[in-house]
């Protein structure tokens, strides 16, 4: 932030700014001090904002033509694809946009895990982010049901049935969700209403997320606080804006490839068959971005415990700032943590793979082992590492590694060389 308060020069601007300081806010955002060592992994925050806006705009247009009725939902989607001007493009952007949204959010989350962006004083930012992630999953599932294909119908049946595992009130909740005794027209109407509402809740939380970020400021690849703003930071505009813009352009090229060349590759063929309550698909699976949690759900033999494990796998992330006991934020200076980090990445990918496979034989065994490690990583490995791990020296400031080495690092190296002699 600039050292002086921004004041409009014109009388009209000053009058308006005194009553609604939008101009001061805009100046703050453009002049916001940002660590000068941010890499391209930090651009995914801006990319996610683009994805959210894209989903809301395309969703609003689709909602104008979609009919939330069990008898007409499937045909209304075909009407959008065939008869609405550029309806095919809008739907493909929306459908593939959900996958791009989750791809970007997973990169954003794993970047935070690697560089310790969830640690003090950024716990609230992280918790709001996890709430956004939960709402994204809810919106994605609800949206998956709306085309009213076979996978939509049976996916809704399987997932809503999970609530029946809750003791005493489970059956009542399922009946309330369905609006009857099976997934039918009232279910579709309720799902459409919630799917329309949730993105605006996410938008409000994103504003809170960014607001909370501006209190402690950005984390950075070496995970240390800003010591001298004049040396350690650059203004958000134009430096970070240009960087974010370039990254967004690269992301949009990948996005466009899926939309124009392989728009259905991330979907399921059975969803192009209209929902039929009398015919069950051979293998019911959710979208790819929900597969790791679906694998955790199926890996537990008991229905209630499976639901608890699936929810715990998400909620445990909110407790991460307190489970990770290390004082060092960045994995750059935590060699042992870095190894376990990549094991976790591999574990989540394995869970995603086995989640798409039948829950039997070797797939089920692998899913159970991967599920066990997932929880061990957060509940055992991270707390123990904080006390046992030997970290490497951390630079004294953000600027020193950029400009040719840190006195702190040099002193440690000198000390080590004396020991060797």
Tally of domains within the chain: 2
CATH code of residue 90 = 1.20.810.10
One domain, residues 58 and 130:
yes
One domain, residues 57 and 92:
yes
Question: What separation in angstroms does the CA of 301 have from each of 19, 68, 286, 294, 298?
Answer: 61, 36, 19, 13, 7
Task: Give the pLDDT of residue 418.
Answer: 46
One domain, residues 123 and 223:
yes
Does some domain include residue 378?
Answer: yes
One domain, residues 273 and 371:
no
What pTM value is reported for the model?
0.92
How far is Cα 333 from Cα 25, in angstroms, rounded to an integer? Answer: 36
One domain, residues 148 and 218:
yes
Burial tier of 288 (Cβ tally within 10 Å: 0-12, 13-18, 19+): middle
One domain, residues 151 and 275:
yes
Task: Give the pLDDT of residue 4.
Answer: 52
* Residues of the chain scoring pLDDT < 70: 1-5, 404-421
Kindly write down the DSSP assignment for every residue of 222-267, as one continuous string. Answer: T----S-HHHHEEEIIIIIHHHHHHHHHHHHHHHHHHHHT-TTTTS
Does some domain include residue 113?
Answer: yes
Dig out the tokens for 175 from the structure: 């009946």
Does some domain include residue 24?
Answer: no
What sign does the CA torsion over 307, 343, 51, 220 have? positive
pLDDT single digits (tens) 189-220: 999 999 999 999 999 999 999 999 999 999 99
Mark which of 266, 284, 302 sits at the end of a domain: 284
Domain that holds residue 352: 286-393
CATH code of residue 380 = 1.10.287.980
How far is Cα 55 from Cα 53, in angstroms, rounded to an integer? Answer: 5
Burial tier of 407 (Cβ tally within 10 Å: 0-12, 13-18, 19+): exposed
Task: Give the pLDDT of residue 405.
Answer: 54
One domain, residues 278 and 292:
no
Does some domain include residue 19?
Answer: no
One domain, residues 55 and 73:
yes
Does some domain include residue 400?
Answer: no
pLDDT single digits (tens) 120-137: 999 999 999 999 999 999
Does some domain include residue 405?
Answer: no
One domain, residues 273 and 231:
yes
Does some domain include residue 418?
Answer: no
């Amino acid at each position: 932030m600039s050292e002086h308060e921004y004041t409009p020069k014109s009388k009209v601007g000053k009058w308006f700014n005194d009553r609604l300081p939008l101009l001061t806010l805009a100046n703050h955002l453009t002049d916001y001090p940002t660590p000068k060592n941010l890499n391209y992994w930090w651009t995914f925050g801006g990319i996610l904002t683009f994805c959210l806006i894209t989903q809301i705009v395309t969703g609003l247009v689709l909602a104008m033509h979609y009919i939330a009725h069990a008898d007409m939902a499937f045909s209304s989607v075909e009407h959008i694809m065939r008869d609405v001007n550029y309806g095919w493009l809008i739907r493909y952007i929306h459908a593939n946009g959900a996958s791009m949204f989750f791809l970007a959010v997973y990169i954003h989350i794993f970047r935070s895990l690697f560089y310790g962006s969830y640690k003090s004083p950024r716990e609230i930012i992280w918790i709001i982010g996890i709430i956004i992630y939960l709402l994204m999953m809810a919106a994605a599932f609800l949206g998956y049901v709306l085309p009213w294909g076979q996978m939509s119908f049976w996916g809704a049946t399987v997932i809503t049935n999970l609530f029946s595992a809750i003791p005493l009130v489970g059956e009542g909740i399922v009946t309330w969700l369905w609006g009857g005794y099976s997934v039918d027209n009232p279910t579709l109407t309720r799902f459409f209403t919630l799917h329309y509402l949730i993105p605006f809740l996410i938008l409000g939380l994103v504003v809170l997320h960014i607001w909370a970020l501006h209190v402690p400021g950005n984390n950075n690849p070496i995970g240390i606080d800003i010591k001298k703003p004049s040396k350690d930071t650059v203004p958000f505009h134009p430096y970070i804006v240009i960087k974010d813009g370039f990254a967004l352009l690269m992301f949009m090229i990948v996005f466009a490839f899926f939309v124009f060349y392989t728009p259905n590759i991330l979907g399921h063929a059975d969803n192009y068959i209209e929902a039929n309550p009398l015919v069950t698909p051979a293998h019911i699976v959710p979208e790819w971005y929900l597969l790791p949690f679906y694998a955790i759900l199926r890996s537990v033999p008991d229905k209630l415990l499976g639901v608890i494990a699936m929810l715990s796998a998400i909620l445990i992330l909110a407790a991460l700032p307190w489970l990770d006991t290390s004082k060092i934020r960045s994995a750059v200076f935590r060699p042992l943590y870095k190894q376990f980090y990549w094991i976790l990445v591999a574990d989540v990918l394995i869970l995603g793979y086995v989640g798409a496979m039948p829950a039997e034989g070797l797939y089920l065994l692998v899913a159970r082992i991967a599920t066990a490690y997932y929880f061990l990583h957060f509940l055992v490995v991270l707390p123990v590492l904080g006390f046992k791990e030997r970290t490497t020296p951390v630079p004294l400031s953000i600027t020193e590694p950029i400009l040719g080495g840190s006195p702190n690092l040099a002193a440690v190296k000198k000390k080590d060389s004396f020991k060797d002699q």
